[in-house]
Amino acid sequence: MMELRWKHLAIALTIFPVAIIVFAWIGFFNIGASTGHWKVTEWLLHSAMRTAVKTYALLEVDAPAQLPRHDIGPAAGHFARGCAICHGAPGELVSPSAQRMLPPPPDLTEKVGEWNDAELFWIVKYGVRFTGMPAWPTQARDDEVWAMVAFLRELPGMSAQSYRALSLGQSGRLEISPRGFANAIAECSRCHGRDGLKAGGLVPIIAGQKEGYLLASLRSYADRERRSGIMALPISALDPAVFPDVARHFSRQPSRLRQIMPDEDDRSDGARIVFGGAPDRAIPSCFGCHGNTAIRNETYPDIAGQDEHYIANQLRLFRAAARGGGQNAHLMHKSAERLSDADINALAAFLGALAAKNATPTAAQR
């Protein structure tokens, strides 16, 4: 009798998965989103998601002691273009279409508190299968993902007015399809400011940069040679035909970069590498390529007076060979690979301090 029962159980276990495959293959399984999941299916998927996020975040993510709150502006700009349509935002309702998604995207002002920083990072970077939550546009920019985590931490307490100021910047608006020169400048101004002087860890000063460098950067972002999740959405929305005009516009803005004349008598570690490099470690002088000279390569940017956080961030990306952009990016990979964390911090502090120390006020600053 017992042997017969075991035989029946074995037959049932063999037939059951085959029956499910046949059931799905002939189209009887209703995949429509309008009816929702069965309660047991919803519970299983939700429980599996939460457990997986917590497990992988614990195993894979090292959260920083402090989140980069100085970078929440660009993260807010990305949220406005890529996230708010599904999740809503302070003063903005969720799209009716997003409300019919299965599962419906959560209101993040209510949900971010349920996750720790590492878990939020994992969700933002990798996305969630079987939902509409995509992965971050590039897997090479953890710095941008942490900036988004910092923004999400601020989101629950943010007013509609402060959110709009943070995400829309000086332009005050978000064009779904920013075609034409005027709309392109408005789109850039959300993060860079209309004069190109707004800067931070993820955003460089672009006012007065050489036109060739700016144009090469725009094209590198568009071709995905220079990877950035925050730049991916606006650059894909712009018409490449306006790239030359956009580069020309910002190159002609009054600059606080090229006007700076560093003090060559400075004996700090940062100054030593900027002017003389570190020959014993095959690290070249920064100003050998980036110095204030009219004959410098058109695609080499000005760095004296650039934002300290931005310089440090870019050097770390170059050191990890995660920073592309232009035909000369490999030169920076070679130059940065021998820089220590102390070198990077010293360089960033020296170059960033030049803005306040020696810059001539521009029309926008007077």
- Phi, psi of 186, rounded to the nearest 5 degrees: -65, -40
- Percentage of the chain with pLDDT > 70? 89
Question: In angstroms, rounded to a whole number, what is the distance separating the alpha carbons of residues 335 and 281?
Answer: 10
pLDDT value for 28? 66
Question: In angstroms, rounded to a whole number, what is the distance separating the alpha carbons of residues 326 and 221?
Answer: 10
Question: In angstroms, rounded to a whole number, what is the distance separating the alpha carbons of residues 144 and 141?
Answer: 6
Question: In angstroms, rounded to a whole number, what is the distance separating the alpha carbons of residues 163 and 345?
Answer: 31
pTM of the model: 0.87
Q: Note the pLDDT tens digit of each residue in 124-162.
A: 999 999 898 999 999 999 999 999 999 999 999 999 999
Q: Note the pLDDT tens digit of each residue in 229-247.
A: 999 999 999 999 999 999 9
How far are the Cα atoms of 86, 149, 196, 260 from residue 119, in angstroms, in the given order? Answer: 20, 10, 35, 43
Q: How many CB atoms lie within 10 A of CB 315?
A: 22
Least confident segment among 33-37, 50-54, 314-318: 33-37
Q: Note the pLDDT tens digit of each residue in 181-203.
A: 999 999 999 999 989 998 888 99
pLDDT value for 99? 86
Domains of the chain, earliest start first: 54-168 (1.10.760.10), 176-251 (1.10.760.10), 269-358 (1.10.760.10)
